[in-house]
Structure 1
Amino acid sequence: MLSVKPYLRSLKLNPDMAIDYDAYPFSIPAVRELEQIEFHPEVTFLVGENGAGKSTLMEAMAIAWGFNAEGGTRNARFSTADAHSELHSYLRTVKSFKRPRNGYFLRAESFFNLATYEEELEEGAGRVHHSYGDKGLHRQSHGESFLALLQNKFQPDGFYMLDEPEAALSPNRQLTALAIIHKLAQDRCQFIIATHSPILLAYPHARIYLLDQSGLAETRYEDTEHYTTTRHFLNNPAAMLEQLFAEENEDD
C-alpha cells in the first residue's frame, strides 16, 4: 500500500529553465546549489544564519503549494507588499498521490497582516474567530495568537509550513508547540519548519537541512550551531560572556 505522507515528497530547481545565478534569489548559495530536497514524512527543519535563504525558500515552496505569500490557508487572498521572489516558478515539486485536507502557512514576520485580514473577514462574514478558539487574533498576545492557531486551526490530514514559529513563543510555549506538532504528526500531518530554536529542532527523527555559504545539506541536530552554541552557553555562561565581551573590547 502506498504511503500518503509525505504530501510534499521532494523539490528541486527545474533544469529546463534558464537561470541567472548572479541574480537574486539564485545568488544565495543555498538556492544556487539546490539540487534536491527530500522531505521527512512528519517533520523537516530548515536551519541557518540570518540571510542564509530559509525564508526565501519557505516562501517559494509555500507559493508553489498554493499558499498566500504572506501566510494563511490556500483560500487566503490578501497582499500588503508585492515583495516575494519568483523562485517558486523555478521549482519542480514531487507530491503525494493524495492531497491533504487541511493546510496553513505560518509566517512570523507577516502574521500581524494575516491577523488583520482575518479580523476583516470576521466583520464581513463572521464565523472566522471560531477557527482560533472564539477569540480574535488581535485580541490575544502575539504568543497566545500563535498557540491559538496551532491548537484550533491545525487539524489532522494537514500540510503545514511554519517560518520561525518560535518568534513569539517562550521556551515553555515552544515545548507546548512541540507537543501539538507531535500529536498532529501522528494524525497524518506533515510539517516543514524554518527555525532558530534548539528546542523545536530537538523533535526526534526529524530531517534537518542546513543552509549556509556552501549551499544546502542534511545535518544532525547535535551538529547544528543552534545546539552547540546553546549547550556551551548553558554549561558555562560566565566564561562564554567573559570571552565574548573581551573580543568586543579588542574590536574597539
Structure 2
Amino acid sequence: MSLFITSLNSGSNGNCYYVGNEQEAVLIDAGISCRETENRMRRLGLSLQNVKAIFVSHEHSDHISGITQLARKYKLPVFITPQTLRKSRLEERGFLFRALRAYEPIEVGDLRITAFPKYHDAADPHSFVVSGGGVNIGVFTDIGEVCEHVIRHFSQCHAAFLEANYDEDMLERGRYPYFLKQRIRGGKGHLSNQQALALFQTHKPSFMSHVFLSHMSKDNNCPDLTRDLFKPHLADTQLIVASRFAETPVYTIA
C-alpha cells in the first residue's frame, strides 16, 4: 500500500499536513482556514470527504486556527491531549473531541496514528507518525531539541516533514529582540537548519525516500540556503521545501 502526502501550508502563518491512502486520510494540525484548506486540496485533486480526523500537535494558533470550521462542517473528530484541549479553549466550540495520549496508537481505517512527546513551549506538545501498509510518515515540527522520542521515530520513517526553522547566523544577526531569539533557540522553541541536518545525517534510515523541510522562518531562514546545506547529504532521498504560502504537490510514498 502507498500513502499520499502533502504539506498544505508550513510556517508560523499556519501549518497543515495531509497523509492518506486511497480510502481515508488525516490532517495533522489545521492552522489555515477551512476555505483555504478546501481550495488547496481541490487544486491537488484531493477530497475532504476522505479526511476522517484531525490530530492536534499543540495549542498555538498557527496549528489550530482552522479547526473549528473544518470540524463542524465535515463532522470530523479532533484528537487532542486533555492538557492541550484545556489550553486551547477549543472545548468551548462544541464539536467532537477524542483523547490523545502518547504511545497509544489510534486506528483510522487502515491508518495508524501514533503520538509521542517532544520539547516545545506548549502545554503538552506531541509529534506524530502516520502508518499504513508498512509505510511510516513522520511529522517532526515545532521541536526545541532532538530527544530520544524524535530519534526513535525519525529512524523508522519512509518520509518525514522535518523542521528546519532558522539559520543560526541569520537569527543572531536579525532584528528579533534578544528574548525572542532565546525562545526560538532555547531548547523549547524550534530546530535550526544545523540541528535538522544533524538529525538527518545521523538517524535517516536508508529507505527514507522524501524529506520535507518544514516550518521555515520568513525572517531567519532562506530556502536556497537550507536546500544547499542538505544537498550534499541526500543520497537517494528527495528534498522538498514546504512553503509557507502554498501547498506542495502530492507525493506517493511506497
Q: Give the TM-score normalised by structure 1.
A: 0.34
Structure having greater relative contact order (Cα 8 Å, sep ≥ 6) = 1
Q: Which has the higher helix share?
A: 1
Q: Which has the higher strand share?
A: 2
TM-score, structure 2 length as denominator? 0.34
